[in-house]
Structure 1
């Protein structure tokens, strides 16, 4: 149980690099005044929550592991596939705006090191039909 908690915490911290809250409004898109005269580039701030459920109706499943995976503290060699909901609020009952689908793998024998590859599919709101691809190491 401690392994699952530690593993979940590490995954959550890794995902914060992609989904850190900003001072922007939820799903707001804003053109910087400084950039208005120079280019048509737009700055977009996304604010959403990813819900990775480990028990019950789990949204992540171990699909591969080495015969020695259980001997490593951080489950080296384990590959997990996910299909998580993205919501506008912290609660799982918040309005769903998309899905996070992909995988993560424990990729270091001595420390918590993960390869994370997710596709964020937005299904509601201003970004309906958009995809954000994220790869974190």
Structure 2
């Protein structure tokens, strides 16, 4: 048989190409299926971890409260905050304690004193 008499692709070539094509589709599909199963296992383990973390106390330790200046405590801040954080906390408190918003003058004056002291401490800490 001469080379010119052969036709391409013959049955063997077609079977080989079909097998390679099926392999090219089946391997990525199998990879995606295994990835999906592993991702679901990861999410289940994460949910168990979140349940464990939820049980921890989020209270501030006594030594932190004892060492934090009263002006930061009144504004709900911690030592080491910036002046921008002090200003944001002050504005949130003003909305609640201002006499025009239903607060008392005494509480607002106390807030003003705490704000001035906190701004001084924050600006000293971050020159």
TM-score (norm 2): 0.21
* Structure (1/2) with the larger helix percentage: 2
Larger Rg: 2
